[in-house]
Structure 1
Amino acid sequence: MSAPAPGSFEPKEPVKLNPPKDDPIETSYLAKCDGTNAGYPVYVAIKGVVFDVTGNPAYAPGNKYHVFTGKDPSRALAKSSVKPEDCVPQWSDLPDKEKGSS
């Protein structure tokens, strides 16, 4: 099997995200930032770093990546999973292959 062509995993349209948040965010506040609460931004945390994905329609309610919003889904992202049960912050116990370090 050959390696994928360069750029084959790049999105058709460039993804623009704001820089990660530097200020601490309580998990109770993060949970409200899931796109279903008016007046709140849409946040996703990855390994404890919070990203504002408000302007990205892929994270809107009903869309594929909405499952990641309002939480730290590091385990799901490491496993390339969109299963709600995988959307938890614990990832360090995964096998190296699933962590992408094999």
Structure 2
Amino acid sequence: MPGFEPKTTVQLDPPKDDPISVEELSKMNGKEGAKCYVAIKGKVYDVSGSKAYQPGGSYHVFAGKDASRALGLMSTKESDAVPEWKDLDDKEKKILDDWVTYFSKRYNIVGRVEGATNTE
């Protein structure tokens, strides 16, 4: 992940703290015109504007999920797209934190996963 700064300036809305249930998040997968959300460490990002997360995109496996573990592992396996990340090693945790930085500079935070225990 070279450089975290977007190529073009992104105007982001103030982050929201609205609770989003896991069930609601799962519906935000970009299918049939739905919004496309990805959660990392309990924060929910609206990635609807990125083709990579839409159906058929290279990161669609993350859509509608908290993909913290997969991002830390640099994995696109569906089985890794889960919230649990605390058992990752220090290098993988650093990668996950880098992804948080990357997402926070590009995508609006639209809420938080209700009841998430993987935030810190």
Whether TM-score is above 0.5 comes out as: yes
Show structure 1 runs of 4+ deviating over 2 A. 10-21
Q: Are 1:9 and 2:6 matched, yes or no?
A: no
The answer (yes or no) to whether the contact 1:44–1:70 under 8 Å persists in 2 is: yes
Task: Identify the match of residue 83 of structure 2 among 81, 84, 89.
Answer: 89
CA shift, 1:36, in A, is 1.1
Q: Are 1:32 and 2:55 matched, yes or no?
A: no
Task: Identify the match of residue 54 of structure 1 among 39, 48, 61.
Answer: 48
The residue that corresponds to 1:79 in the other structure is 73
Give me the identity figure in percent: 49
Q: 1:15 to 1:79 in 2, by over 3 A?
A: farther
Q: 1:85 to 1:97 in 2, by over 3 A?
A: same
Q: Which has the higher contact order (CA 8 A, sep 6+)?
A: 2
- Uncovered stretches (5+) of structure 2, i.e. residues with no partner: 96-120
Q: Which moved more, 1:10-19 or 1:89-98?
A: 10-19
Q: Are 1:67 and 2:61 matched, yes or no?
A: yes
Give the structure with the larger helix fraction. Answer: 2
TM, length-normalised to structure 2: 0.67
Q: Deviations along 1:14-44, whole A, 9 cap, x unmatched?
A: 4848554420100000000001143x31100
How many residues align? The count is 93
- Uncovered stretches (5+) of structure 1, i.e. residues with no partner: 1-7
Which secondary structure state, in structure 1, belongs to the residue aligned with residue 59 of structure 2?
helix
Aligned partners of 1:97 and 1:16: how far apart in 2?
28
Which secondary structure state, in structure 2, belongs to the residue aligned with residue 76 of structure 1?
helix
The residue that corresponds to 2:36 in the other structure is 42
